[in-house]
Structure 1
Amino acid sequence: MWRNTQVGWGVISIALHWLSASTIVGLFALGWWMTGLGYYDTWYNLGPWVHRSVGIVLFMATLARLVWRLTQPTPQGHGSRLEVLMAHLGHITLYVLLLFVMTTGYLISTADGGGISVFGWFEVPALVHGLPQQALIAGDLHWYSAWALMLLAVGHSLAALKHHLIDRHDTLLRMLKPTSR
């Protein structure tokens, strides 16, 4: 039940999937909302602090998720060979984009040489800083790659619904209910 099998996902994979998905959507919404805040707004400093803190926690969870994913079996995909290949490539692209969004966010936040305080619990040091126009370039890359991630996530969701509603596969159900076989 906790581990993946050839026929379904385990509890850990399912939990990491849905926690990541909801956190990514929340971070995107918060990031978009923050861009319109005025200097005297209460959330002007608090919003970015929360965004950075949650982003670092998500980064750590994503690394753990990747390790878990690489050490667990992957349930067999449904559909034609092309659909299975596209799903595989789509998942890889989701992970790459997610890591890229988080890396560019880190580069924005550490451009001045200061670390990132994560909810006041610990600080992530600025390992890369002082590059020419680091915050500006990383900011543009962060914005556009976050949009690309959201668009791909929508496509991912639509594909899951297509498998469920049209093809009548258990693809979506496997991500909702852990396997015990």
Structure 2
Amino acid sequence: MWRNTSTGWGWTSILLHWLSALAFVGLFVLGWWMTGLGYYDAWYNLAPWWHRSLGMLVFAVTLGRLVWRAVQPTPSLPGSRLERLAAHVGHIALYALMLLVLVSGYLISTAEGAGIDVFGLFQVPALMTGLPNQASLAGTVHWYAALALMVLAGGHGLAAFKHHWVDRHDTLMRMLTPRYTRARRRGGSASH
């Protein structure tokens, strides 16, 4: 039940998908909120620390998710050839934007040469520093990439609902139940 098959996602992929979605939305909301904090606000230093710490953990999970996806089968997609191509391109764009948000956030935080303290547990070293306008340019990329990621993720969610309610495909159910198949939905037995 933890591994993928050609017909459905395993628990590992399902949990990584939903935890990533929750983490990226949470980080986006936290990032947007903290930019409006004043210097004397109690969260002025604490919110960015949480944002950076969570961001580094999400970075590690995202790299693990990419490795897992590379070594596991991907369930086949329903729909027309054009819909399957759009889904494939959309997934590539989602992963590219996730990586762009995470790398640019790292470059903002390490621009002055200091590493990133992750919840006081360990330090992520600053590997690339001193680039011209590093913090400013990375900040611009970080903001627009995060915004684009939220828009694309919203479209991804709407497409899943469309497949579920309009097309009556099992796409959404497969991301909620490990190795879900249409045969199981109808009450039949599904082979794993």
**TM-score normalised to the size of structure 1?**
0.99
Question: 1:55 maps to what in 2?
Answer: 55
- Distance between the aligned counterparts of 2:40 and 2:78, measured in 1? 52
Residue 179 of structure 1, CA deviation: 1.2
Paired with 2:170 and 2:179, the residues of 1 have a C-alpha distance of 12
Residue 70 of structure 2: aligned partner: 70
2: CA distance between counterparts of 1:57 and 1:146? 17
SS in 1 for 2:117: strand
What is the CA–CA distance in structure 2 between the aligned matches of 1:179 and 1:144, rounded to whole Å? 35
User: What 5-or-longer segments of structure 2 have no aligned partner?
Assistant: 181-191
Q: Does 1:90 align with 2:94?
A: no
**How far is the alpha carbon of 1:15 from its aligned partner?**
0.2
1:130 to partner: Cα distance:
1.1
SS at match of 2:39: coil
Measure, in 2, the Cα distance between the counterparts of 1:24 and 1:53: 13
Q: Where in structure 2 are the equivalents of 1:25-174 lying within 5 Å?
A: 25-174=25-174
Q: Structure 1: any 5+ residue segments left out of the alignment?
A: none
The equivalent of 1:13 in structure 2 is 13
Q: How far apart, in 1, do the equivalents of 2:5 and 2:14 lie?
A: 12
Aligned residues: 181
Larger radius of gyration: 2
Shift of 1:92: 0.6
1:131: how far off?
1.0
Structure having greater relative contact order (Cα 8 Å, sep ≥ 6): 1
Q: Which amino acid aligns with 2:164?
A: H
Deviations 1:95-142 (A, max 9, x none): 000000000000000000000000011000111111111101100110
Quote the Cα distance in structure 2 between the aligned partners of 1:18 and 1:144. Answer: 23
Amino acid aligned to 1:136: S
State the TM-score, normalizing by the size of structure 2. Answer: 0.93
Paired with 1:43 and 1:176, the residues of 2 have a C-alpha distance of: 36
Which amino acid is 1:122 matched to? F
Give the whole-Å Cα distance in 2 for the aligned partners of 1:125 and 1:16.
25
Specify the SS of the correspondent of 1:44: coil
SS for the counterpart of 2:120 is coil
Tell me which stretches of 4 or more aligned residues in structure 1 moved more than 3 Å.
none
Distance 2:171 2:139 in 1: 36
